Amino acid sequence: MSNISKKNNQPIGVFDSGVGGLSVLIELKRLLPNENFVFLADQKYVPYGEKTKNELIQLAYKITDYFINQHDVKMMIVACNTSTCNSISEVRAKYTLPVVGTVPAIKPAAEKTKSGTVAIIATPSTSKSEVLKNLIKDFCSNVKVLNIGCKNLEDAVETGKLDSAEVHQLLLKYLEEVKNSNADQLVLGCTHYPFLKKSIQNIVGSGVNLIDSGNAIARHTKSLLVNNILENSQKKNGKTIYFTTGDPVKFSKVASLLLKEQIKAKKVKI
């Protein structure tokens, strides 16, 4: 007898404040090609990195309700470090839906370092969060950590101007401390930053290993789907639909550039 219920073929909801979450979606689609996804960019409220904890909790509740009520999702991926670090415990306490979060990859960085120093760049809100402080406490007792909060960096990715002079200046400013240290691991603690990998690597040099969380999230999502017998049973490739609470034309243009495929998003009010 088959265990497959109607829920298996429901989509997985993925959200971020903007296009950054696409760096996680790329990994999810690579590892789970038969799944259907609904991607929501909450661009009306980008940047999340300058919101208070309470504001982030309210936004996460609204998005979870939207995914459940409008798309009947079987699982939700918070493809945003800022939202995860500030609201995932509250979301998990309120809903029974399985929720996967994104936290900065501090643990693998601490395990890999040979120099004994790791650096993390993240939004100001993630940088100050209790979740990040606890990750550092739990995994970096013998490791020096440079915790760098970066204002406005996500904006470069939102506009699609990945190689602009402004972005280069911002990166030089935020990465100076990393360059002047003996850090050999740099954690990209915001899902927007993997799209700036090339420029970041050029600045810090090839001796610094960049770590983001996208692949680990995809692997964790897969094991949750398997353990909960929630995998999609379809043999064909899954479909992804895209929504934004901001400007759909702008989102579609930048997302198509980042995904290297043409997509068309719809505007949604939530």
Q: Is 67 or 195 the residue whose CB approaches ligand DGL more closely?
A: 195
Q: How far is the CB of 16 from ligand DGL (least distance, A)?
A: 5
Q: Which residue is nearest to ligand DGL (CB)?
A: 49
Place of tokens 């990040």: 132
Among residues 80, 85, 140, 150, which one is catalytic? Answer: 80
Report the DSSP beta bridge partners of residue 75.
12
Q: How far is the CB of 68 from ligand DGL (least distance, A)?
A: 22
Q: How far is the CB of 129 from ligand DGL (least distance, A)?
A: 10
Q: How far apart are CA 232 and CA 8, in angstroms?
A: 5
Q: Is 47 or 248 the residue whose CB approaches ligand DGL more closely?
A: 47
Annotated catalytic residue 80: yes
Of the candidates 85, 67, 84, the residue with the CA atom closest to the CA atom of residue 76: 67
Can you list the alpha helix ranges (DSSP code H) found in the chain? 22-31, 53-71, 81-94, 106-112, 124-128, 130-139, 153-158, 165-179, 197-204, 214-227, 248-259
Annotated catalytic residue 140: no
Q: Is 103 or 143 the residue whose CB approaches ligand DGL more closely?
A: 103
Q: Is 8 or 248 the residue whose CB approaches ligand DGL more closely?
A: 248
Among residues 85, 140, 150, 190, which one is catalytic? Answer: 190
Under 8 Å CB-to-CB from 20, ≥6 apart: which residues? 79, 80, 154, 157, 190, 191, 192, 193, 195
Residue 186 near residue 157 (C-beta atoms within 8 A): no
Binding site for ligand DGL (CB under 6 A): 16-18, 20, 46-49, 80-82, 123, 126, 154, 190-192
Place of tokens 């936290």: 103
Q: How far is the CB of 93 from ligand DGL (least distance, A)?
A: 21
Give catalytic residue positions: 80, 190
